[in-house]
Amino acid sequence: MIMPVLTKTQCSLDKVKSLLWKQTENHPLGQPRYYAVLNYSYSYKGLHHLQQKDLRQRWDRRSVFNTHAFVNGLIRKTFGRDIPIWWTIERCADYEDDCGNTKKGMFHSNCWIGEISDEVLEYPSSHLLPLFAQPDDFGIPIGNRSCDIDALKLLLLGACIRQAKWVGSHPRSLFIEDVPPNEMEASFMYGLKDINSSMNQLNTVIDWDNSSFYKP
């Protein structure tokens, strides 16, 4: 069996991605606790298709980054201003238009979010309190759920992110999970998978401005 030979560029990219993970894992404000995928294909209320003018923005990188900034603001004013957050973007699968032409897919986002302290839930802010009344996937107000504090944090974090106009209430617009520490590196590397052939991809995949990467 002939083993594939990594090019010099691929080796360099693997090294950079490993260094990015090490920096993230050892971040002064803590490593990620939650992983989320934001899908922008649906309307805010999840009841109808997006209008064409709104749909076009889902192909615009700067508009996606603006949504990242907005979600960062939601999370930090709700759960604490020091929560670290990291973002990457990737395209959905290519598709054919009505004329048979192949078109690039719209963007969706990967997001990693740091720890939420128990104290935040014990003494909720004015931004957090209303989220306890938001319904979960079964229509039950989050505050009425019988669950432990870690599950409650996940429900409230999801409700917080869903306030963003590009996310909203559609079940498929947001995937979010509490990732065990020993699985977080694999989750993080998955979000970097499109950085695979050029150093320039570091700047097209990673949202540096809205991520908690730092310069020592």
pLDDT digits (tens, 9 = 90+) for 91-144: 876 665 667 766 667 789 999 999 999 999 999 999 999 999 999 888 899 999
Q: What is the pLDDT of residue 25?
A: 96
Whole-prediction pTM value?
0.88
- In this prediction, residues 24-46 reach a mean pLDDT of 91
Q: What is the pLDDT of residue 124?
A: 95
State pLDDT tens for residues 36-45.
Answer: 999 988 887 8
- Which among 38, 33, 119 is positioned nearest to 71, based on CA atoms? 38
Q: What is the pLDDT of residue 38?
A: 96
Q: What is the pLDDT of residue 3?
A: 44
Domain ranges of the chain: 30-93+100-205
Q: What is the pLDDT of residue 202?
A: 93
State pLDDT tens for residues 151-190.
Answer: 999 999 999 999 999 999 888 899 999 999 999 999 999 9
Query: Any idea how long the chain is?
Result: 216
Tell me the helix, strand and coil percentages in the chain, rounded to 5.
Answer: 40, 15, 45
Q: Residue 124 is which amino acid?
A: P
Least confident of 3-7, 76-80, 114-118, 135-139: 3-7
Q: What is the pLDDT of residue 42?
A: 80
3-state class of 77 per DSSP?
helix
The rounded mean pLDDT for the chain is: 89
DSSP-derived secondary structure letter, 169: S
Q: What is the pLDDT of residue 137?
A: 84
3-state class of 180 per DSSP?
coil
- Which among 71, 95, 98 is positioned nearest to 83, based on CA atoms? 71
Q: What is the 3-state secondary structure (H, E, C) of the chain?
A: CCCCCCCHHHHHHHHHHHHHHHHHHCCCCCCEEEEEEEECCCCCCCCCCCCHHHHHHHHCHHHHHHHHHHHHHHHHHHHCCCCCEEEEEEECCCEECCCCCEECCCEEEEEEEECCCHHHHHCCCCCCHHHHHCECCCCCEHHHCCCCHHHHHHHHHHHHHCCCCCCCCCHHHEEEEECCHHHHHHHHHHCCCCCCCCCCHHHHHECCCCCCCCCC
